Amino acid sequence: MQTIYEPGGFTPLVRVETGTEALATTRPQRSLAEKLRQEGNEDGTEMAFPAELVRHLDRLENELRRNAVSEESRKWLAQCGLTAEQMAGQLDAQTEPERAVHLYHCDHRGLPVALINSEGARDWSAEYDVWGNRLKEDNPQKLEQLIRLPGQQYDDETGLYYNRYRYYNPEQGRYISQDPIGLRDG
């Protein structure tokens, strides 16, 4: 799970989740030039491609993926004795793991009060008291929402909220760890 924050702040804006099983099956994708270079020699060694050829193959791959091969590329392929269809068969399949994207809706304190999915439906919501204690939660999708007040993340192990270098206890409404820069400056 990745969280994108407001620039220069701790207010969450977007949450992107990718299933770990989807990531495990996703292998690094090779460009057309990399694939041809790696599979080029019969003895298994990589071929050396001039930079101009790599640029041309990258442009061709881009055109093939958009299904819009230019006349210039078709002529170049014909000179090589190839067709666009043959080259399209050489492309590695593009595999994108399925992702769930949610937008955060935060209150005036920067505390997340709702997660909205890409269809505009609310998948999670909560109400809090002034200290950040959760009073009510609606979580039909069983989402794990660990972010609380700006910079705080719920720590399952302690049951507290970790805030950079110290822990916050919302039941007491205060930090239970000393400020690392001291009492005077903290």
- Convert the pLDDT of each residue in 84-130 to its tens digit: 888 888 777 666 667 788 999 999 988 999 999 989 999 999 999 88
Domains in the chain, number: 2
Question: By three-state DSSP, how is residue 23 classified?
Answer: helix
Return the top range by mean pLDDT from 25-29, 32-36, 133-137.
133-137
With a cut of 80, say whether residue 8 has pLDDT above it.
Answer: no
Is the model's pTM score more than 0.85? no
With a cut of 70, say whether residue 25 has pLDDT above it.
Answer: no
Q: Return the closest-CA partner of residue 161 out of 136, 138, 185, 128.
A: 128
Q: Return the closest-CA partner of residue 6 out of 114, 147, 150.
A: 150
Asked, for residue 185, whether it belongs to a domain, the answer is: no
Asked, for residue 128, whether it belongs to a domain, the answer is: yes
Q: What is the mean pLDDT of residues 11-19?
A: 79
Q: Return the closest-CA partner of residue 115 out of 17, 18, 10.
A: 17
Residue 56 and residue 7 share a domain: no
Domain that holds residue 66: 30-88
Residue 108 and residue 19 share a domain: yes
Which of 88, 108, 136 lies at the terminal end of a domain, its last residue?
88
Residue 106 and residue 163 share a domain: yes
Label residue 71 by pLDDT band (50, 70, 90): very high
Sign of the Cα pseudo-torsion (90, 91, 92, 95, in order): negative
Residues 145-160 have pLDDT tens digits of 888 888 888 898 998 9
Which of 67, 88, 109 lies at the terminal end of a domain, its last residue?
88
CA–CA distance, 100 with 16 (Å, rounded to integer): 6
Output the pLDDT for position 58: 85
